[in-house]
């Protein structure tokens, strides 16, 4: 069953020629050129998009620097005295907290009285904490949020934020 049809010359009618090396190389070079072209187009597109985004961010940063302030321009900063106290557990652990208050523009003239009440409240709160409660970044974030809430409540909204400058546990 090798040749069902034979030509008068004795050769088979349907012979399969092996593809030549030249056609293989030509196909390989065409696919390589197509791949290089597609890669170059993709790279140039990505570079231009990235450049446009960086330039837009730079323009936004220049224009929006004054518009993105977290605080009003006439907010005041009041530095608190360093608070030193022991923690509830363990008994031999001491903590030193240094903080500042950002006061809103509605703050009245009796700011020193409000600040002293806030310091007293912070000191009492710090005495109820344990080392495990203020350990790590999450504990520090919770401490900051609790102190902010207490300061806002004590000042009836005059304090915008409590800024923790340092916290040392010994």
- pLDDT by residue (tens digit) across 134-164? 999 999 999 999 999 999 999 888 888 999 9
Query: What pLDDT does residue 111 have?
Result: 86
Q: Which residue has the higher pLDDT, 59 or 17?
A: 59
Are 35 and 115 part of one and the same domain?
Answer: no
Domain span including residue 93: 76-169
Are 153 and 119 part of one and the same domain?
Answer: yes
Are 152 and 80 part of one and the same domain?
Answer: yes
Query: What pLDDT does residue 42 have?
Result: 96
- Distance CA(38)–CA(41), nearest Å, equals 5
Domain count, the chain: 2
Are 92 and 152 part of one and the same domain?
Answer: yes
Exposed, middle or buried, 14 (CB in 10 Å: 0-12/13-18/19+)?
A: exposed
Query: What pLDDT does residue 66 have?
Result: 55
Top-confidence range, 56-65, 71-80, 92-101: 92-101
Query: Is the confidence at residue 20, as pLDDT, over 90?
Result: no
Query: Is the confidence at residue 67, as pLDDT, over 90?
Result: no
Is residue 150 in some structural domain? yes
Is residue 62 in some structural domain? yes
Is residue 4 in some structural domain? no
pLDDT band at 117 (very low <50, low <70, confident <90, very high): very high
pLDDT band at 76 (very low <50, low <70, confident <90, very high): confident
Is residue 5 in some structural domain? no
Are 64 and 93 part of one and the same domain?
Answer: no
Are 56 and 90 part of one and the same domain?
Answer: no
Is residue 9 in some structural domain? no
Are 64 and 132 part of one and the same domain?
Answer: no
Are 81 and 58 part of one and the same domain?
Answer: no
Are 161 and 102 in contact by the 8 Å Cβ rule? The answer is yes
């Amino acid at each position: 069953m090798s040749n069902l049809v034979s030509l008068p010359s004795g050769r088979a009618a349907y012979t399969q020629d092996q593809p030549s090396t030249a056609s293989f190389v030509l196909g390989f070079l065409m696919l390589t050129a197509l791949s290089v072209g597609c890669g170059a187009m993709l790279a140039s597109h990505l570079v231009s998009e990235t450049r446009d985004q960086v330039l837009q961010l730079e323009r936004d940063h220049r224009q929006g620097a004054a518009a993105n302030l977290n605080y009003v321009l006439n907010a005041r900063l009041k530095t608190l005295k360093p608070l030193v106290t022991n923690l509830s557990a363990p008994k031999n652990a001491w903590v030193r907290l240094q903080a500042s208050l950002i006061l809103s523009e509605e703050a009245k003239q009796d700011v020193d009285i409000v600040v002293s009440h806030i310091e007293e409240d912070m000191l009492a709160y710090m005495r109820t904490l344990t080392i495990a409660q203020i350990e790590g970044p999450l504990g520090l974030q919770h401490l900051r949020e609790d102190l902010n809430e207490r300061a806002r409540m004590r000042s009836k909204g005059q304090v915008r934020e409590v800024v923790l400058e340092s916290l040392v546990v010994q």
